[in-house]
Amino acid sequence: MTNDPSQGYVCVIVGATGAVGSVLLKVLAERDFPIAELRPLASQRSVGSTVRFGGKNVEVALTEPEQFDGADLVFFAATGSLSLELAPEAAKRGAVAIDKSSTWRMNDGVPLVVPEINEDALDEHRGIVSCPNCTTIPLAMALEALRRRAGLRSAVVTTMQAVSGAGTPGLEELEEQQLAHHSGVAAPRPSTFAAAIHNNVIPLCETLQDDGYSSEETKLLDETRKILRQPELEMTMTCVRVPVPIGHSASVLVETETALSPEEAIHELSSFPGIVVCPDSDLPTPAGAAGGAVVLVGRVRSDQHSDRLWLWQASDNLRKGAATNAVQIASALAGRGLLGRHRDAKMAFQS
């Protein structure tokens, strides 16, 4: 038997002390998600430390399958290898695993969900639900807003991604390099990124494929197609790391099936849940998006040589790009009566 929803849910957070896990705790509290028991988990080095939740210090325990017993939800905000190993374990023990890594996103048996777009995909969950990449979520929302009115033919995307997209190590590397620069000393050799990120931008090409695109760029393409249920969508992209702590941005050139004027596009974007269109006097920026749960869109304008539209977007990659989307999924699962539906079922996922 699953826990009585009126008393709240038993929630486990794998990676509770990391960058996304820390924000996840804040978002769960801010959104008043009903929690009867919280179990924060992490690696051995964090065991015994505490996280703050519900006005109390909650002790962090070691990540191991036994911690999933009796849980309703297990949020995975850790490495993909850990999710690969343990998300099926969570499902087998009756919980729903909500995973932020890329591990399960393209698995045919796992819904890849942005609740504003495809909440109904949750009806097919078999114990694991995947959160898209933190660049995919805001892009897919903007594209879907236009597609519902005019169809969607193609998109050209350039992302500018904050260092927190690489977690706490990314933030620490930027801070170390900034401190070294201002202190007039040599910075430590980069370890998280391919080159120094302070006063620099880096094409995200650490894992180049045979076609010249990086895995980050391929994820953006494949995930957007899956979320929009448009497998033949023509999209090309370049992903770039920028020296910004929090907040991903993107420049997008969109071609719709039926041409839209900027005014029509702005109306559709403004009407879409989770999107705020900013006037030219208050342009969307990563700094402006940081701490917020919405996708900021601005600079909506016609292309000078075609019927396509340009737009610029920014969002908090740790919130809407990760933690907020995960909590929205949890709320949608609860609202649709899907938590605990598969309890005692055996999962068939293969690593």
Q: Angle at which helices 167-183 and 19-30 pack, to 10 degrees?
A: 110
Cβ neighbours around 253 below 10 Å, total: 16
Q: Could you tell me which residues come within 8 angstroms of residue 260 by beta carbon, excluding any fewer than 6 positions away?
A: 146, 149, 150, 268, 309
DSSP state, residue 214: B
Contact indicator for 71, 81 with CB cutoff of 8 Å: no
Among the listed residues 222, 225, 233, 313, the one whose alpha carbon sits nearest the alpha carbon of residue 265: 313
Contact indicator for 308, 251 with CB cutoff of 8 Å: no
Place of tokens 């009126």: 6
Q: Is 134 a catalytic residue?
A: yes
Give the CA distances from residue 50 to residues 42, 47, 221, in Å, rounded to whole numbers and listed in that order: 11, 8, 38
Q: Is 248 a catalytic residue?
A: yes
User: Which one is catalytic: 11, 131, 134, 239?
Assistant: 134
Contact indicator for 159, 241 with CB cutoff of 8 Å: no
Backbone φ, ψ for residue 17 (5° rounding): -95, 0
Give me the DSSP letters along 23-58.
Answer: HHHHHHHHTT--EEEEEEEE-GGGTT-EEEETTEEE
Indicate which residues carry an active-site annotation: 134, 248
